[in-house]
Amino acid sequence: GESVGLHLPTLSVQEGDNSIINCAYSNSASDYFIWYKQESGKGPQFIIDIRSNMDKRQGQRVTVLLNKTVKHLSLQIAATQPGDSAVYFCAAPQAGTALIFGKGTTLSVSS
Amino acid sequence: ETGVTQSPTHLIKTRGQQVTLRCSSQSGHNTVSWYQQALGQGPQFIFQYYREEENGRGNFPPRFSGLQFPNYSSELNVNALELDDSALYLCASSLRDRETEAFFGQGTRLTVV
């Protein structure tokens, strides 16, 4: 089955810096990948997704890059703000119903 | 905020007891998925309901069961609670096969003592 994993459990940045959160996956057949943000006491919130036939997708202040050769994706957050402090998960579908989540990277932004 | 609401928000139960958690899905969504999130971990898929029937299940024992009602709201029932069942239980609603557009509720924090 699918497994996804994040490279670093924690990331600390200064306000205004760019943040990069990385994720590796195992199943090359995944049709898409999703990044979620989870703030303390809340459920995961959708940030951005990327289809497997794409290499890059941009949103507001966020960019996701997908490298299928090495089965790696990354989430880049531009001009990181204190409100970006949260746990970030990558997720991929399995068997058409489940989403498989990684363990998460805790992003801490200091001002 | 999403339109997915879960109740209760917090719950303390004793080992061996039974618990029922509830989820109201986003308006128009016909599919509900339940996840268990242990402290410091990512959510783990329990099962999904579509049109009142189980539509997929993760690696959880039969004492985890669910229901979906005609209005698409859902319940998660856990029997014979164990200490390791302590976790945040998340409900996500979506349209069938549109998991990228799933909305999560805020979760129910279950503590088993």
CB spacing of B101 vs A46 below 8 angstroms: yes
pLDDT of residue A96: 63
Closest Cβ–Cβ partner in B4, B56, B100 for A98:
B56
If you average pLDDT over residues A7-19, what whole number do you get?
Answer: 92
Summarize pLDDT for A55-91 with one digit per residue, the tens: 999 999 999 999 999 999 999 999 999 999 999 999 9
CB spacing of B44 vs A49 below 8 angstroms: no
In degrees and rounded to multiples of 5, residue A31 shows phi and psi of -80, -25
C-alpha–C-alpha distance, residues A67 and B7, integer Å: 40
Minimum CA–CA partner of B55 in chain A = A97
Summarize pLDDT for B47-105 with one digit per residue, the tens: 999 999 998 999 999 999 999 999 999 999 999 999 999 999 999 998 877 766 789 99
Strand, coil or helix: B13: strand
DSSP class of residue A97 equals T
C-alpha–C-alpha distance, residues A44 and A58, integer Å: 20
Mean pLDDT of chain A: 91
- With residue A55 as reference, give the H or E element that holds it: none
B24 touches chain A (CB under 8 A): no
What residues does A91 pair with on adjacent strands?
A: A34, A101
pLDDT of residue A2: 59
Q: Which residue has the higher pLDDT, A104 or A5?
A: A104
Summarize pLDDT for B17-43 with one digit per residue, the tens: 999 999 999 888 899 999 999 999 999
Tokens of B65: 């069961």
Tokens of A93: 């579908």
Cis peptide before B62 (omega within 30 of 0): no
In degrees and rounded to multiples of 5, residue A17 shows phi and psi of -70, 165
CB spacing of A99 vs B45 below 8 angstroms: yes
pLDDT of residue A1: 55
pLDDT of residue A31: 86
